[in-house]
Amino acid sequence: MTVIHHRYATVRGQRLFYREAGPADGPAIVLLHGFPTSSFMFRNLIPALADRYRVIAPDHLGFGLSAAPPADEFDYTFDALADLTAGLLDQLEVRRYAMYVQDYGAPIGWRLALADPDAITAIISQNGNGYDAGFIPNFWRTVWDYHRAQTPETEAGIRGALTLETTKWQYLTGVPDETLVSPDTWHHDFALLSRPGNDAIQLALFRDYATNPPLYPALHEYLRHRLPPVLAAWGRNDPIFGPDGARAFATDVPDAEIHLLDGGHFLLESAGTEVAELIRDFMTRVTAGR
């Protein structure tokens, strides 16, 4: 049985929870989760990688088991979450690492890569968007309306994303066999999402998401210039980030490996074994190349 450590660290005065497993001297893989989940989404992937790799999966501030200071006491932005992640990795003396990014993990990961390009050994994107082509308008129209104007009407639309129904929708939409997805997932996420004051945290991050697409040109330049190994393992039926977001990586990294799998936004829940096999094969070649 794989030994997984469940730890806390204080970074910039904030208490962050993270899961860690694998050999301390192994190549590092940092797993960055999305909304509205936490490192809990990697509970099965970590053991599948930890025989060979040092795997680190933090909970972002305001998510999972990390601290969640009120939104009027902490400025919740993607810049701030990336800064805390960088601080955690510095404490753990992780200088070089591959990143696995999903949903919110992507804009956090892109900031880390742009701030310290030499640190990144590879990029694994599982429905982690970096291109305008990836946005599915039917979902994002509500977010874009909120970006244009914060009114009672646009806020009500965004608050719909904080419900149990929508959390379940994120897990099940596009999954070919819904019985593969444990109801524990959406109930676990919703319980943490529903903590007092967490709605204000999530609204702040929805507002700040407007800062992410303007970073894309810098990301694309980084990809073209550095040509990091890229694996996109993407749920093709994701109603939030469509498969064009995966294909787009090949425009800047011609050797990017693109795999469109039959699944949705949280692909690990229904195709975790397949994703783990893709990552292991990819990382074997990455580490051999080093």
Which structure tokens are listed for 188? 């676990």
Torsion of CA 131, 242, 249, 268, to 10 degrees: 120
Task: State the Cα–Cα distance between residues 36 and 32, nearest whole angstrom.
Answer: 12
Which pLDDT score is estimated for 1?
A: 79
Among residues 33, 60, 188, 265, the one annotated as catalytic is 265
Task: State the Cα–Cα distance between residues 283 and 193, nearest whole angstrom.
Answer: 33
Say how many CA atoms lie within 13 Å of 18 toward its Cβ: 25
Which pLDDT score is estimated for 289?
A: 74
Which pLDDT score is estimated for 193?
A: 95
Token pair 């970006």 in the structure block, residue: 147
Catalytic residue at 259? no
**pTM metric for this prediction:** 0.97
Which residue numbers in the chain have pLDDT < 50? none
Task: State the Cα–Cα distance between residues 288 and 70, nearest whole angstrom.
Answer: 45
Which pLDDT score is estimated for 290?
A: 64
- Concatenating the DSSP letter of every residue in 71-121 gives TTTS---HHHHHHHHHHHHHHTT--SEEEEE-TTHHHHHHHHHHH-GGGEE
